[in-house]
Amino acid sequence: MRSIEDLLAHTELADSPSARLDVELLLADALGKPRSYLHTWPERELEDAQLAQFTAAIERRRAGEPVAYILGQQGFWSLQLEVATHTLIPRPDTELLVEAALALLPATPAQVLDLGTGTGAIALALASERPAWQVTGVDRVSEAVQLAQRNGQRLQLANARFVTSHWFSELSGQRYALIVSNPPYIAADDQHLGQGDVRFEPSSALVAGADGLDDIRLIIAQAPEFLSPGGWLLLEHGFDQAAAVRDLLRARGFVQVASQRDLGGHERISLGQFAHA
Protein backbone atom coordinates (compact mmCIF):
# COMPACT_ATOMS: atom_id res chain seq x y z
CA MET A 1 0.00 0.00 0.00
CA ARG A 2 1.24 3.48 -0.84
CA SER A 3 -0.01 6.82 0.41
CA ILE A 4 -0.81 9.97 -1.52
CA GLU A 5 2.10 11.72 0.18
CA ASP A 6 4.52 8.95 -0.81
CA LEU A 7 3.41 8.93 -4.44
CA LEU A 8 3.60 12.72 -4.77
CA ALA A 9 7.11 12.71 -3.33
CA HIS A 10 8.52 9.83 -5.35
CA THR A 11 6.79 9.80 -8.75
CA GLU A 12 9.09 11.25 -11.40
CA LEU A 13 8.24 12.59 -14.85
CA ALA A 14 11.59 13.83 -16.06
CA ASP A 15 10.54 14.84 -19.58
CA SER A 16 7.39 16.76 -18.70
CA PRO A 17 7.50 20.57 -18.38
CA SER A 18 4.59 20.35 -15.93
CA ALA A 19 5.62 17.23 -14.03
CA ARG A 20 4.15 18.06 -10.62
CA LEU A 21 0.81 19.13 -12.07
CA ASP A 22 0.68 16.04 -14.30
CA VAL A 23 1.26 13.73 -11.33
CA GLU A 24 -1.40 15.48 -9.26
CA LEU A 25 -3.98 15.36 -12.06
CA LEU A 26 -3.39 11.67 -12.74
CA LEU A 27 -3.39 10.76 -9.05
CA ALA A 28 -6.59 12.71 -8.38
CA ASP A 29 -8.21 10.97 -11.35
CA ALA A 30 -7.22 7.53 -10.04
CA LEU A 31 -8.80 8.43 -6.72
CA GLY A 32 -11.88 9.99 -8.27
CA LYS A 33 -11.27 13.13 -6.23
CA PRO A 34 -10.38 16.79 -6.91
CA ARG A 35 -6.72 17.84 -6.66
CA SER A 36 -7.41 19.61 -3.34
CA TYR A 37 -8.09 16.19 -1.80
CA LEU A 38 -4.43 15.23 -2.27
CA HIS A 39 -3.25 17.93 0.11
CA THR A 40 -6.13 17.55 2.56
CA TRP A 41 -5.64 13.79 3.04
CA PRO A 42 -1.95 13.10 2.23
CA GLU A 43 -1.87 10.04 4.49
CA ARG A 44 -4.66 8.29 2.60
CA GLU A 45 -3.49 4.98 1.11
CA LEU A 46 -4.55 3.89 -2.37
CA GLU A 47 -6.44 0.69 -3.01
CA ASP A 48 -4.78 -1.81 -5.36
CA ALA A 49 -7.02 -0.90 -8.32
CA GLN A 50 -6.40 2.81 -7.79
CA LEU A 51 -2.65 2.30 -7.62
CA ALA A 52 -2.73 0.17 -10.77
CA GLN A 53 -4.68 2.87 -12.64
CA PHE A 54 -2.27 5.58 -11.49
CA THR A 55 0.80 3.53 -12.40
CA ALA A 56 -0.56 2.80 -15.88
CA ALA A 57 -1.39 6.47 -16.41
CA ILE A 58 2.11 7.55 -15.36
CA GLU A 59 3.66 5.12 -17.82
CA ARG A 60 1.53 6.54 -20.62
CA ARG A 61 2.64 10.05 -19.67
CA ARG A 62 6.30 8.95 -19.57
CA ALA A 63 5.82 7.73 -23.14
CA GLY A 64 4.80 11.28 -24.03
CA GLU A 65 1.03 10.91 -24.27
CA PRO A 66 -0.75 14.17 -23.32
CA VAL A 67 -2.44 14.24 -19.93
CA ALA A 68 -5.68 15.41 -21.55
CA TYR A 69 -5.87 12.24 -23.66
CA ILE A 70 -5.12 10.06 -20.64
CA LEU A 71 -7.85 11.75 -18.59
CA GLY A 72 -10.22 12.11 -21.54
CA GLN A 73 -10.94 15.71 -20.62
CA GLN A 74 -9.51 19.22 -20.66
CA GLY A 75 -10.55 22.54 -19.17
CA PHE A 76 -11.13 25.46 -21.57
CA TRP A 77 -12.59 28.87 -20.74
CA SER A 78 -15.04 28.07 -17.92
CA LEU A 79 -15.90 24.65 -19.33
CA GLN A 80 -14.74 21.08 -18.81
CA LEU A 81 -14.65 19.29 -22.15
CA GLU A 82 -14.38 15.68 -23.23
CA VAL A 83 -11.40 15.19 -25.56
CA ALA A 84 -10.28 12.33 -27.78
CA THR A 85 -7.38 11.51 -30.06
CA HIS A 86 -9.21 12.56 -33.25
CA THR A 87 -9.34 16.19 -32.06
CA LEU A 88 -6.82 18.78 -30.94
CA ILE A 89 -6.50 19.43 -27.23
CA PRO A 90 -7.96 22.90 -26.47
CA ARG A 91 -5.19 25.28 -25.41
CA PRO A 92 -5.20 28.40 -23.22
CA ASP A 93 -3.85 30.51 -26.13
CA THR A 94 -7.12 29.96 -27.97
CA GLU A 95 -9.06 31.68 -25.20
CA LEU A 96 -7.78 34.93 -26.77
CA LEU A 97 -9.90 34.08 -29.81
CA VAL A 98 -12.97 33.74 -27.56
CA GLU A 99 -12.25 37.06 -25.83
CA ALA A 100 -11.86 38.86 -29.15
CA ALA A 101 -15.06 37.33 -30.55
CA LEU A 102 -17.07 38.39 -27.50
CA ALA A 103 -15.77 41.95 -27.90
CA LEU A 104 -16.78 42.21 -31.59
CA LEU A 105 -20.56 41.76 -31.30
CA PRO A 106 -23.17 42.81 -28.75
CA ALA A 107 -25.01 40.22 -26.66
CA THR A 108 -28.06 40.44 -28.93
CA PRO A 109 -29.25 37.68 -31.31
CA ALA A 110 -26.64 36.79 -33.94
CA GLN A 111 -25.59 33.85 -36.11
CA VAL A 112 -22.00 32.78 -35.40
CA LEU A 113 -19.88 30.09 -37.11
CA ASP A 114 -16.89 28.16 -35.71
CA LEU A 115 -14.88 26.47 -38.49
CA GLY A 116 -12.95 23.30 -37.55
CA THR A 117 -14.66 23.04 -34.19
CA GLY A 118 -12.90 19.88 -32.89
CA THR A 119 -14.10 19.38 -29.31
CA GLY A 120 -16.49 22.30 -29.77
CA ALA A 121 -14.37 24.40 -27.39
CA ILE A 122 -14.68 27.78 -29.12
CA ALA A 123 -18.32 27.34 -30.13
CA LEU A 124 -19.36 26.21 -26.66
CA ALA A 125 -17.41 28.95 -24.89
CA LEU A 126 -19.17 31.55 -27.06
CA ALA A 127 -22.55 29.90 -26.59
CA SER A 128 -22.07 29.84 -22.81
CA GLU A 129 -21.27 33.55 -22.70
CA ARG A 130 -23.90 34.72 -25.21
CA PRO A 131 -27.21 32.87 -24.78
CA ALA A 132 -28.81 35.00 -27.52
CA TRP A 133 -26.27 33.89 -30.13
CA GLN A 134 -26.92 30.84 -32.27
CA VAL A 135 -23.51 29.21 -32.70
CA THR A 136 -22.80 26.59 -35.37
CA GLY A 137 -19.63 24.52 -35.18
CA VAL A 138 -18.44 22.51 -38.18
CA ASP A 139 -15.74 19.89 -38.64
CA ARG A 140 -14.96 17.53 -41.51
CA VAL A 141 -14.28 14.68 -39.05
CA SER A 142 -17.60 13.12 -38.08
CA GLU A 143 -16.17 11.73 -34.83
CA ALA A 144 -15.20 15.27 -33.82
CA VAL A 145 -18.74 16.50 -34.56
CA GLN A 146 -20.17 13.73 -32.39
CA LEU A 147 -17.74 14.61 -29.60
CA ALA A 148 -18.67 18.31 -29.80
CA GLN A 149 -22.35 17.36 -29.70
CA ARG A 150 -21.79 15.32 -26.52
CA ASN A 151 -19.98 18.24 -24.92
CA GLY A 152 -22.81 20.59 -25.83
CA GLN A 153 -25.46 18.23 -24.48
CA ARG A 154 -23.59 17.65 -21.23
CA LEU A 155 -23.14 21.40 -20.75
CA GLN A 156 -26.81 21.97 -21.68
CA LEU A 157 -25.97 24.62 -24.26
CA ALA A 158 -28.96 24.43 -26.59
CA ASN A 159 -27.82 27.47 -28.60
CA ALA A 160 -24.86 25.54 -30.06
CA ARG A 161 -25.21 23.00 -32.86
CA PHE A 162 -22.64 20.97 -34.75
CA VAL A 163 -22.52 19.88 -38.39
CA THR A 164 -20.19 17.71 -40.45
CA SER A 165 -18.73 20.01 -43.12
CA HIS A 166 -15.33 20.52 -44.73
CA TRP A 167 -15.03 24.21 -44.02
CA PHE A 168 -18.00 25.80 -45.84
CA SER A 169 -18.94 22.81 -48.00
CA GLU A 170 -22.30 22.04 -46.31
CA LEU A 171 -23.31 25.63 -45.46
CA SER A 172 -24.67 26.85 -48.78
CA GLY A 173 -26.94 29.89 -48.41
CA GLN A 174 -26.05 30.54 -44.76
CA ARG A 175 -24.92 33.96 -43.51
CA TYR A 176 -23.15 34.79 -40.26
CA ALA A 177 -22.36 37.98 -38.37
CA LEU A 178 -19.12 36.41 -37.15
CA ILE A 179 -16.95 33.55 -38.36
CA VAL A 180 -14.18 32.30 -36.08
CA SER A 181 -11.61 29.59 -36.66
CA ASN A 182 -8.53 28.00 -35.15
CA PRO A 183 -7.51 26.15 -38.33
CA PRO A 184 -4.39 24.09 -39.03
CA TYR A 185 -1.50 26.52 -39.47
CA ILE A 186 1.74 24.57 -39.03
CA ALA A 187 4.10 24.11 -41.99
CA ALA A 188 4.58 20.52 -43.13
CA ASP A 189 8.32 20.53 -42.33
CA ASP A 190 8.05 22.24 -38.93
CA GLN A 191 10.40 20.54 -36.46
CA HIS A 192 7.91 20.99 -33.60
CA LEU A 193 5.68 18.31 -35.11
CA GLY A 194 8.07 15.72 -33.71
CA GLN A 195 8.13 17.17 -30.21
CA GLY A 196 5.91 17.16 -27.13
CA ASP A 197 2.16 16.63 -27.10
CA VAL A 198 1.62 17.36 -30.80
CA ARG A 199 3.21 14.00 -31.66
CA PHE A 200 -0.02 12.41 -30.44
CA GLU A 201 -2.47 14.87 -32.02
CA PRO A 202 -4.01 14.40 -35.50
CA SER A 203 -1.74 15.92 -38.15
CA SER A 204 -4.78 16.89 -40.25
CA ALA A 205 -5.71 19.34 -37.50
CA LEU A 206 -2.20 20.80 -37.37
CA VAL A 207 -0.55 20.90 -40.80
CA ALA A 208 -1.59 23.20 -43.66
CA GLY A 209 0.81 22.94 -46.58
CA ALA A 210 4.37 24.09 -47.12
CA ASP A 211 3.98 27.42 -45.30
CA GLY A 212 1.12 26.54 -42.96
CA LEU A 213 -1.29 28.96 -44.62
CA ASP A 214 -3.22 26.72 -47.04
CA ASP A 215 -6.37 26.47 -44.91
CA ILE A 216 -6.24 30.11 -43.87
CA ARG A 217 -6.06 31.12 -47.55
CA LEU A 218 -9.13 29.01 -48.33
CA ILE A 219 -11.12 30.38 -45.39
CA ILE A 220 -10.30 34.00 -46.22
CA ALA A 221 -11.15 33.46 -49.89
CA GLN A 222 -14.55 31.86 -49.20
CA ALA A 223 -15.69 33.61 -46.00
CA PRO A 224 -17.22 36.70 -47.67
CA GLU A 225 -19.85 34.49 -49.32
CA PHE A 226 -21.04 33.45 -45.86
CA LEU A 227 -20.79 36.75 -43.97
CA SER A 228 -23.68 39.10 -43.37
CA PRO A 229 -23.06 42.74 -44.38
CA GLY A 230 -20.45 44.12 -41.99
CA GLY A 231 -19.64 40.64 -40.69
CA TRP A 232 -16.31 39.75 -39.11
CA LEU A 233 -13.75 37.01 -39.72
CA LEU A 234 -11.49 36.13 -36.80
CA LEU A 235 -8.58 33.67 -37.16
CA GLU A 236 -5.98 32.13 -34.89
CA HIS A 237 -2.60 31.55 -36.58
CA GLY A 238 1.07 30.90 -35.90
CA PHE A 239 3.19 33.35 -33.94
CA ASP A 240 5.04 34.50 -37.09
CA GLN A 241 2.12 34.52 -39.57
CA ALA A 242 0.25 37.70 -38.60
CA ALA A 243 1.65 39.94 -41.34
CA ALA A 244 0.89 37.35 -44.03
CA VAL A 245 -2.66 36.84 -42.72
CA ARG A 246 -3.30 40.59 -42.64
CA ASP A 247 -2.12 40.84 -46.24
CA LEU A 248 -4.47 38.04 -47.27
CA LEU A 249 -7.40 39.69 -45.51
CA ARG A 250 -6.79 43.06 -47.15
CA ALA A 251 -6.32 41.49 -50.58
CA ARG A 252 -9.77 39.84 -50.26
CA GLY A 253 -11.39 43.18 -49.43
CA PHE A 254 -11.57 43.05 -45.65
CA VAL A 255 -11.32 46.34 -43.75
CA GLN A 256 -10.43 47.22 -40.16
CA VAL A 257 -7.79 44.50 -40.41
CA ALA A 258 -5.77 44.05 -37.22
CA SER A 259 -3.90 41.51 -35.09
CA GLN A 260 -3.89 40.90 -31.34
CA ARG A 261 -1.15 39.55 -29.11
CA ASP A 262 -1.30 36.61 -26.71
CA LEU A 263 0.09 36.59 -23.18
CA GLY A 264 3.52 35.75 -24.58
CA GLY A 265 3.52 38.90 -26.68
CA HIS A 266 3.06 37.09 -30.01
CA GLU A 267 0.52 38.23 -32.61
CA ARG A 268 -1.72 35.19 -32.29
CA ILE A 269 -5.01 36.21 -33.91
CA SER A 270 -6.00 38.44 -36.84
CA LEU A 271 -9.37 39.80 -37.88
CA GLY A 272 -11.16 41.83 -40.49
CA GLN A 273 -14.61 43.11 -41.37
CA PHE A 274 -16.22 42.54 -44.75
CA ALA A 275 -18.46 45.33 -46.04
CA HIS A 276 -20.55 43.96 -48.90
CA ALA A 277 -20.90 46.17 -51.93
Instruction: Parse the chain into domains and list their residue ranges.
Output: 4-64, 78-274
Q: At 126, which helix (H) or strand (E)?
A: helix 121-129
Which option is the CATH number for 78-274: 3.90.79.10, 3.30.70.270, 3.40.50.620, 3.40.50.150? Answer: 3.40.50.150
Using CA of residue 25, residue 27, residue 31, residue 33, what is the dihedral sign? negative
**pTM > 0.85:** yes
- Per-residue confidence (pLDDT) for residue 188, from 0 to 100: 55
Burial of 96 (0-12, 13-18, 19+ CB in 10 A): middle
Return the percentage of the chain with pLDDT > 90, whole number.
Answer: 62
Q: What is the DSSP letter of 10?
A: H
- Per-residue confidence (pLDDT) for residue 30, from 0 to 100: 93
pLDDT tops 60 at residue 210? no
Q: Distance between CA 167 and CA 162 in Å, rounded?
A: 12
3-state secondary structure of 228: strand
